[in-house]
Amino acid sequence: MISMHTSPLEQPGIGDAGGMNVYIRNVASHLASHGVQVDVFTRATRASQGEIVEVEPGFRVINCIAGPFEGLPKESLPTQLTAFTGSVIAFVRGEVAQRPDGPSGLCARTGAGVYDIIHTHYWLSGQVGWLLRDLWEVPMVHTAHTWAAVKNLGLADGDTPEPESRRICEQQIVDNADRVIVNTQEEADALIEAYDASPERLAIIAPGVDIERFTPGSDRATERARRELGIPLRAKVIAFIGRLQMLKGPHILLRAAAELIRRHPGQNIRVVICGGPSGTGLERPDDLHDLAASLGVSGYVRFLSPRPPEELVTVYQAADIIAVPSFNESFGLVALEAQASGTPVVATRVGGLPLTVAEGVSGVLVDGHDPEVWAHALEQLVLDDALRITMGAAAPAHAATYSWDATVEKMMAAYDRAFGDGTVETPVRIPHGIPMGLA
């Protein structure tokens, strides 16, 4: 796998790390549990990381040097595509030369020192994978996670459009990948419309959720979580979890919550914002604090730093409602984790969220981003305790229909179909006579 711009080991909610990191880590881990050897190549961002990180049996992360460790924004990473690709090639060549007969890096299908398949994540990685696919003649599967043409159709006010150069690069990937994996039928339709994608090469595979980690909490667990987070025990708590940028819509929640607090001062409404600045939010890291102050609700809002999954579950359990006011969301892992934790969701009707949230059963879907409309949607669950509790009780069953095991079984079937297209007939040797490849 290639995830050039962010490592699956990074903390989601910080910088460029988010749902994609959760996705890659879980897919790689579950592939490994199914007996698949997985190496994830990513760009090194700290000298202390080490070149090889053994995450678990069958799953390694390879940190490749390409540009300075720190201070290189995602927008500048295209300048390092050649360096990154060269680093990947050098690593694999070294692996094969050092252990030509060892188990690591051996192709299960040929027994040669090559990987079976390339699976790229995000368009930067897709460009790298496209080159290596043609160099090593192995199939390439691509998961974009977000698409420039789709994002630009639903920009938040103040957001910067994705450049045309990215859309062109994505078009090249769509044209050359053996399989493109999408989360939903809506995403597939968007690719066919915006990128003239071939329907035969699209595979619709929904992500999963860790239902063993994200579970409903007891009343006692909720009280303990609120104490730990400094939230009043008897408050009505609306939480936002994710990267703090305009695209994710946390400002919409603050404006809607301010209206709710004005309408219902006796409801003791509190808002929790859990995440770190990302994207355009990096340019204005104090914007949400300033907005809360200007709305007069600073005393009702608690800002929390990003948390690892084992701690994040307590935020889900401490909340009465999880708000997902995104302007674009290819699937919506936060909404799925919230429901698995027994917390109903109020989300925008965009992207994969209508699939992720069972409308009227485990949550409410909102059309658009008008704070007044959002205030009304949140008001339903804030005031109607019985409805909120009923939705929370139904939410885990809906979330349980999505599992990482099911995702990975469909992923492996997509890999098999890529092989079945006849992309690879015999192992390929590159200069110096060393069998090479990448997965």
243 is in an annotated binding site: yes
Count Cβ neighbours within 10 Å for each residue of 399-412 and write b for 16 or more, e otherwise.
beebbbeebbeebe
Q: Are 27 and 333 in contact (CB under 8 A)?
A: no
Tokens in use for 213?
């980690």
Residue 343 assigned ligand-binding role: yes
Q: Which residues of 344-353 are buried (b: 16+ CB within 10 A; e: fewer)?
A: bbbbbebbbb
Q: Is 316 marked within a binding site?
A: yes
The answer to whether 11 is a known ligand-binding residue is yes
> Is residue 20 part of an annotated ligand binding site?
yes
DSSP states along 291-357: HHHHTT-GGGEEEE----HHHHHHHHHH-SEEEE--S--SS-HHHHHHHHTT--EEEES-TTHHHHS
Q: Is 12 annotated as a binding residue?
A: yes
State which H helix or E strand residue 389 sits in.
Answer: helix 385-399
Find out whether 21 is annotated in a ligand binding site.
Answer: yes
Q: Is 227 annotated as a binding residue?
A: no
340 is in an annotated binding site: no
Contact residues for 272 (Cβ-Cβ < 8 A; gap 6+): 229, 231, 237, 238, 239, 240, 301, 302, 304, 315, 318, 319
Confirm or deny that 286 is annotated as ligand binding. no
Residue 329 marked ligand-binding: yes
Q: Is 401 annotated as a binding residue?
A: no
Q: Is 307 annotated as a binding residue?
A: yes
Nearest to 343 by CA among 240, 196, 190: 240
> Could you tell me if 210 and 26 are in contact, meaning their C-beta atoms sit under 8 angstroms apart?
yes
Residue among 156, 174, 161, 4 nearest 83 (CA): 4
Please check if 411 is assigned to a binding site.
Answer: no
Q: Which parts are annotated binding residues for Mg(2+)?
A: 316-317, 319, 343
Q: Which parts are annotated binding residues for 1D-myo-inositol 3-phosphate?
A: 5, 16-21, 74, 122, 146, 166
Q: Which parts are annotated binding residues?
A: 5, 11-12, 16-21, 74, 122, 146, 166, 243, 248, 307, 316-317, 319, 329, 337, 343
Q: Which parts are annotated binding residues for UDP-N-acetyl-alpha-D-glucosamine?
A: 11-12, 19, 243, 248, 307, 329, 337
